Structure 1
Amino acid sequence: MADSPRSPSAEIQPPAQPSTTDTATTTTDLAQPQTQPATTEGESNPQDHAHLQIDEGNFDDSDSAYGSSVASSSVSLASSITHYKYENGRRYHAFREGEYYLPNDEEEQARLDLQHHIYRLCLGGRLYEAPITNPQNVLDIGTGTGIWAIDFADEYPGSLVIGTDLSPIQPGFVPPNVKFYVDDFEQQWEFPEVGKFDYVHWRSLSGSTGDFPKLYRQALGNLKPGAWIEVQEYDAWVYSDDDESMSKAPWTLEWCETLNRVSTQFGKVLNVGRHHKRWMKEAGFVDVKEKVVKCPIGPWTRDISLKELGRYERWHMNESVEAHSMALYTRVLNYTPEQAKVVFERVKMEFNDRNLHLYTVYRFLQGRRPMEGEA
């Protein structure tokens, strides 16, 4: 049975901090406790990494990033399966309806392309980290707007880049070495024109599947021996090094906890970033590496490049709150859209508070399929 909605109003007060004695236990290792995420052996806690340095001066807090052009082509892919479902003012795909809780409308496409820019900023402008050399056949799982696949195809014009997604929102005018397919990556992969791939990439699939170990096994089986996989993901959580309990950002903490609990009920947990390194190794990949990037929400750091990154990430996070939450809050928690939006506005107020030193985490992982006979 869906949870009864609370009744937020314009005068709603910040949530009380939950007691650990009230926290429900679950049987899955993906469920989040009512605090910032714990880690198990072999997993990386963001707060174990170097703390971001706070700029104590009167920094420029204006969002010069607003209005920057980071969107891909708006020309849609012509397809007989371009059917959509409209819900609470947002558009969702109809293929495998109900299996995915993020929208696919123009607003969401702009957010995805902005996030593409953020991923590249995290890598100093690069598209990838894996040590690949002229890959011939490349697969981009969950390609979204197709912007990564297109950029990669431009960089490697001799390669064939295949992008798959449940939503046919990719542009129609693309490089000749790019192909897009509407496909469900949770089903058996079939690419007879390719056989095995030289490189498999995915990004931001958190909340898209309830079985990442299976996805890693599929990727391993579709790679040539010695070929590479690269995974670029984010933690669906917000952190603060100088306020680890998040007592100064109670709405943000409650939002993170709620998303984790409700996405667990939905069967596709959002906050799984810290598990990917373990899953990759368990699937059989070798030479597994993980790069963790702390991304400030806002330009509050001393580092100039992180200031720019922080401006983009604050913009992105303000757009992400509703995109990640509306379907879960209304479908599972039985909130009205108006009730949900009151909560979302409170979270965004904390994102935009220059006195709160909040950050998100992006993870860049790579692994290699062993050669035949390699231990």
Structure 2
Amino acid sequence: MSDTTRHAPPPPPPEQSTEPPGATVEQPEAPDPDAEIQPDSNEPSDVDSTLGDDLSVTSTSLASSIYNYPYEHGRRYHAYRQGAYSLPNDEAEQARLDLLHHVFRLTLDGRLFRAPILASPQRVLDFGTGTGIWAVDFADNFPMAMVIGTDLSPIQPDVVPPNVKFYVDDVESDWVEAGSEDERYDFIHGRTMVGSIKDWDRLYQQALRSLNPGGWLEMQEYETWLKSDDDPDLVRAPYLKRWQDEVNEASRVFGKDLDVAKEQKQRLIDAGFTDVRDDVYKVPVGSWPRDPKLKALGKFQLVQVCSAIEPFALGFLTRYRDWTEDECRVLVAHVVRELQNSQNHLYVNFHFVYGRKPGAC
């Protein structure tokens, strides 16, 4: 990480905590990932959804070159380490990221993480923070912690809790060696980093070195392959299957594979983490489930996925598969129509992978 992270201001004096020393956050049991989602036979076959008004946020004051954003196909991309990340950073993408944060929280019944971290963490890192919404929510819930968020783009809000700091940084670069306990972290969080990382093993080794003994790393990743238990070959969604085939192949050409969520548990183990878990949640796409909670979750996820199809197509297929912009938009229109058909019973597996650095807290 950059030198700015080393010189981040020290955390404010801890607030009085009612938790005993060493207490950890209690977490509920994860669901059975093999359990099928029961469809609602009364659900209409088509669902029309729109994202609504774009959300806008202001960003931190930085060198002007950081804001010299390039544009492609009408979308805005990051300027720092240009090309290191294939998705845009414009207002439409920020709105999608905030909606995705809502989907993650709904999936966990409002929680922000699965790891049994200390009940009173002192320093927390959120790399790939995006709009900073997870970092801000965590800081609100743990006011005694100093939360540091890093990202390639300065798209985080200016008005944040006093225990949050944001920095422009590339998580794939060398992290500053943490020389003391005050410079290390009790919890490191990363989310939706698939397609952004070339060397996962190096990332996890650096994270391990930056944690205090007993500290936790949690990665929250989704599989970039939508599934259907009653149509495993996606015969009813051929355009979606083609989109998935093409985008995943493009990510491999790019050198930052998208469909790697299932690999992360073993990578954490190989890096030296202990007590590693991979909690898998089925997240429906659309309002087709019978269960009311899953039905509500699926409505939000449908909007989020439909909003993601275009930037993934434009960002990956035009650069690494020689597709034209028009070809991408035609494919996107077909894919969105298939996503909106609630008879397809589509879902995505979300992986919450977490492990602990050996040693006492």
Q: Is the pair's TM-score, using the shorter chain for normalization, greater than 0.5? A: yes
CA contact (8 A) 2:148 2:164 kept: yes
Q: Post-superposition, which runs of at least 4 consecutive aligned residues in structure 1 deviate over 6 A?
A: none
Query: Match of 1:253, as an amino acid?
Result: K
Matched, 1:117 2:105: no
* Deviation of 1:78 (Å): 2.1
Tell me what 2:90 maps to: 105
Matched, 1:143 2:126: no
CA contact (8 A) 1:63 1:311 kept: no
Match of 2:253 among 258, 261, 265: 265
CA contact (8 A) 1:139 1:163 kept: yes
Cα separation, 2, equivalents of 1:356 and 1:62:
12
Query: Match of 1:207, as an amino acid?
Result: G
Matched, 1:74 2:74: no
Cα separation, 1, equivalents of 2:332 and 2:274:
41
SS at match of 1:56: coil
Q: Deviations over 1:27-69 (max 9, x none)?
A: xxxxxxxxxxxxxxxxxxx996111111112469766895599
SS at match of 2:264: helix
* Deviation of 1:246 (Å): 1.0
Q: Deviations over 1:184-243 (max 9, x none)?
A: 111111276952111000100000011111111111110011111111110011100001
Query: Match of 1:76, as an amino acid?
Result: S
Cα separation, 2, equivalents of 1:153 and 1:203:
16
Structure 2: any 5+ residue segments left out of the alignment?
1-30
Tell me what 1:355 maps to: 343
Higher mean Cα deviation, 347-356 or 51-60?
A: 51-60
Q: Where do residues 24-35 of structure 1 align in structure 2 (5 Å cutoff)?
A: none
Match of 2:262 among 274, 282, 289: 274
Q: Deviations over 1:135-177 (max 9, x none)?
A: 0000001000000000101111111000000111111111111
* Deviation of 1:98 (Å): 1.1
Query: Match of 1:57, as an amino acid?
Result: N
Q: Where do residues 195-206 of structure 1 align in structure 2 (5 Å cutoff)?
A: 195-206=183-194
CA contact (8 A) 1:65 1:311 kept: no
Percent of residue pairs identical: 47
* Deviation of 1:323 (Å): 1.7
Higher mean Cα deviation, 235-244 or 126-135?
A: 126-135
Tell me what 1:57 maps to: 42
SS at match of 1:305: helix
The verdict on how the C-alpha distance between 1:248 and 1:183 changes in structure 2, with shifts beyond 3 A counting, is same
Tell me what 1:227 maps to: 215
Cα separation, 2, equivalents of 1:65 and 1:51:
28
Cα separation, 2, equivalents of 1:319 and 1:58:
22
The verdict on how the C-alpha distance between 1:342 and 1:127 changes in structure 2, with shifts beyond 3 A counting, is same
The verdict on how the C-alpha distance between 1:66 and 1:343 changes in structure 2, with shifts beyond 3 A counting, is closer
Q: Where do residues 1-375 of structure 1 align in structure 2 (5 Å cutoff)?
A: 49-58=34-43, 67=52, 74-80=57-63, 81-132=66-117, 133-190=119-176, 194-371=182-359
Cα separation, 2, equivalents of 1:82 and 1:274:
35
SS at match of 1:119: helix
Higher mean Cα deviation, 51-60 or 282-291?
A: 51-60
SS at match of 1:279: helix
Cα separation, 2, equivalents of 1:61 and 1:306:
17
TM-score, structure 1 normalization = 0.83
Structure 1: any 5+ residue segments left out of the alignment?
1-45
* Deviation of 1:76 (Å): 2.1
SS at match of 2:304: helix
Tell me what 1:25 maps to: none
Cα separation, 1, equivalents of 2:292 and 2:187:
33
TM-score, structure 2 normalization = 0.86
CA contact (8 A) 1:61 1:299 kept: no
Cα separation, 2, equivalents of 1:275 and 1:47:
19
* Deviation of 1:75 (Å): 1.8
Cα separation, 2, equivalents of 1:144 and 1:130:
21
CA contact (8 A) 1:47 1:241 kept: no
The verdict on how the C-alpha distance between 1:276 and 1:213 changes in structure 2, with shifts beyond 3 A counting, is same
Tell me what 1:10 maps to: none
Cα separation, 1, equivalents of 2:344 and 2:43:
15
Cα separation, 2, equivalents of 1:238 and 1:312:
15
SS at match of 1:93: coil
CA contact (8 A) 1:120 1:126 kept: yes
Query: Match of 2:142, as an amino acid?
Result: Y
Higher mean Cα deviation, 128-137 or 105-114?
A: 128-137
Q: Deviations over 1:227-278 (max 9, x none)?
A: 1111111001110000111111111111111111111001111111110111
Cα separation, 2, equivalents of 1:252 and 1:62:
17
Q: Deviations over 1:309-368 (max 9, x none)?
A: 000010001001012220211112222211110011111110011211111111111110
The verdict on how the C-alpha distance between 1:226 and 1:58 changes in structure 2, with shifts beyond 3 A counting, is closer
SS at match of 1:245: coil
